[in-house]
Amino acid sequence: MTLIKSISGIRGTIGGKTGDNLTPIDTVKFAAAYGTWLKEQSGNKKLKVVVGRDARISGKMIQELTMNTLTGLGIDVIDLGLSTTPTVEVAVPLEKADGGIILTASHNPKQWNALKLLNSKGEFLDGEAGAKILKIAESEGFNFSEVDNLGEISVIDGYIQKHVEEVLKLELVDAEKVKNAKLKVAVDAVNSTGGIAIPALLEKMGVEVIKLYCEPNGHFPHNPEPLKEHLQDICELVKKENADFGIVVDPDVDRLAFIDENGEMFGEEYTLVACADYVLSKKPGNTVSNLSSSRALRDITERHNGKYEASAVGEVNVVKLMKDNDAIIGGEGNGGIIYPEAHYGRDSLVGAALFLTYLAEKNQKVSEIRKEYPSYFMSKNKIELTPDLDVDGVLKAVQKRHAGEEISTVDGVKIDFPENWVHLRKSNTEPIIRIYTEAKSQQEADELAEKMIKEIKEIIS
């Protein structure tokens, strides 16, 4: 059982001892720290925070604790109930709120939950703000309100539908064109709130929906991370129902994966590539993803005469670089689409709507669209180290060995070779180096990873 505190929030398993797990006391402490930080920023004005949750079994309990802690600090709360991460992100500015909290552990199994924190723009907090909140939580420097100054909770039902309507307003989303294409799509929402959101969007766009695991009861029928090894059921359903393709989302609906008409994975790295291809075909511009995402996005961006940049890993880093470079689309290779015309956050509803419009416009099969993109294959490994080892020194030694190649040190060390790349990152929580490689065949990617592991071991010895 585990409790992980980071600048992006607090995440842990339900039950067990305080301080070791996400217990009610830990939930209250962290919610109080966030509320206290907001009050410090506000100059004593009356504050308002949006709170929503995915369908996890523990979600209602964690939400009640969080909301009542905030009202105890004199902060008003807007309760969205069952929601998605991007829905809460959209709701914060629409409701003119001062912040937001999403109660979700994303792709982690059902025993996990988390508090993810947003600023007044509906964007994840930066490192400086996150560090301050952790410090407040440790010091327990809370000052709760007296009885006449308690906050109030307002319930707003149906915000997912409002989110759907916002997506349909986007210039590059054409519901009529999709309706005329008469598409049939299977949806696996792992029994969380994507089971509300994705079918609602598709039905508004005139798509015939085949639902699989769309009951938002929090009982995940398979590992909720949308990877190939977890998605056999929907792959078979797409073929059985002769669907045009399948859509898969994680529990909080910020990661999006597609299954082609043959029941084969489109590739989560290629969700962003396909959406970017569509957007760039309409509006020239720049793109951003993180250093561990596929080179295919760079290739597609340059094909459209745009400029591609890579950020450090982490959504907040992607968003910052997108703003700095005026990127018109970006995201992460795990199926996260960030489209600034909607908002600066990963949003599976936006990604699905863009892809559906693109598919209707091209009038091709999903497998045919995938063949238009350069094929790359990834290998993800790690090497465990002794706690006393100088990991930064090891990475510098690797960098020195490959000084003649194109190297980025924005986040660890990334070496871009002409035909492939390797990205080495140290973990912030354990003595390991993560090793990501990409090449034009799986064998080549695996061999490059093995070569880098051997190099690191030589440096250590």
Domain boundary among 157, 188, 209: 157
Residues in the chain: 461
Residue 255 confidence (pLDDT): 95
Q: Which residue has the tokens 């539908």?
A: 161
Query: Mind listing the pLDDT tens digit for each residue in 163-184?
Result: 999 999 999 999 999 999 999 9
Q: Which domain holds residue 25?
A: 3-157
Residue 428 confidence (pLDDT): 66
d(CA 122, CA 114): 17
Q: Which of 126-140, 181-195, 224-238, 378-392 comes out lowest in average pLDDT?
A: 378-392
Q: Cβ(355)–Cβ(246) under 8 Å?
A: no
Residue 390 in 3-state DSSP? coil
Q: Cβ(178)–Cβ(360) under 8 Å?
A: yes
What's the rounded mean pLDDT across residues 24-51?
Answer: 94
Q: Are residues 253 and 291 in the same domain?
A: yes
- Say yes or no to pLDDT of 73 above 60: yes
Q: Are residues 97 and 205 in the same domain?
A: no
At 429, the pLDDT band (50, 70, 90 cuts) reads low
What's the rounded mean pLDDT across residues 194-199?
Answer: 98
* Strands 112-118 and 9-13, sheet pairing: antiparallel
Q: Are residues 9 and 140 in the same domain?
A: yes
- Say yes or no to pLDDT of 1 above 60: no
At 7, the pLDDT band (50, 70, 90 cuts) reads low
Query: Mind listing the pLDDT tens digit for each residue in 77-121?
Result: 999 999 999 999 999 999 999 999 999 999 889 999 999 999 999
Give the pair of three-digit tokens for residue 118. Answer: 């947003």
Q: Are residues 299 and 279 in the same domain?
A: yes
Which active-site residues does the annotation give?
Answer: 106
At 389, the pLDDT band (50, 70, 90 cuts) reads confident
Q: Are residues 170 and 109 in the same domain?
A: no
Q: For the chain, what is the largest distance between any 2 Cα atoms, rounded to a whole number of angstroms?
A: 67
Indicate the helix (H) or strand (E) that contains 319.
Answer: helix 315-324
Q: Cβ(287)–Cβ(308) under 8 Å?
A: yes
Q: Domains in the chain: how many in total?
A: 3
> Among residues 279, 240, 231, which one has the least CA distance to residue 259?
231
Q: What is the pTM of this model?
A: 0.94
Residue 228 confidence (pLDDT): 87
Count the alpha carbons within 13 Å of 371 in the hemisphere toward its beta carbon.
5
> Among residues 147, 145, 101, which one has the least CA distance to residue 8?
101
At 3, the pLDDT band (50, 70, 90 cuts) reads confident
- Say yes or no to pLDDT of 390 above 90: no
Q: Are residues 219 and 307 in the same domain?
A: yes
Q: Are residues 214 and 347 in the same domain?
A: yes
Domain boundary among 371, 393, 416: 371
Q: Are residues 247 and 390 in the same domain?
A: no
User: How does DSSP assign 129-171, residue by residue?
Assistant: HHHHHHHHHHHT---PPPGGG---EEE---HHHHHHHHHHTST
d(CA 457, CA 461): 6
Q: Which of 23-27, 227-231, 449-453 comes out lowest in average pLDDT?
A: 227-231
Q: Are residues 118 and 24 in the same domain?
A: yes
> Among residues 232, 190, 234, 230, which one has the least CA distance to residue 210?
234
- Say yes or no to pLDDT of 334 above 90: no
Q: Are residues 322 and 244 in the same domain?
A: yes
Q: Are residues 186 and 259 in the same domain?
A: yes
The domain that holds 31 is classified in CATH as: 3.40.120.10
- Say yes or no to pLDDT of 75 above 90: yes
Domain boundary among 371, 403, 427: 371
d(CA 181, CA 206): 9
What's the rounded mean pLDDT across residues 444-460?
Answer: 94
Q: Are residues 175 and 213 in the same domain?
A: yes
The domain that holds 391 is classified in CATH as: 3.30.310.50
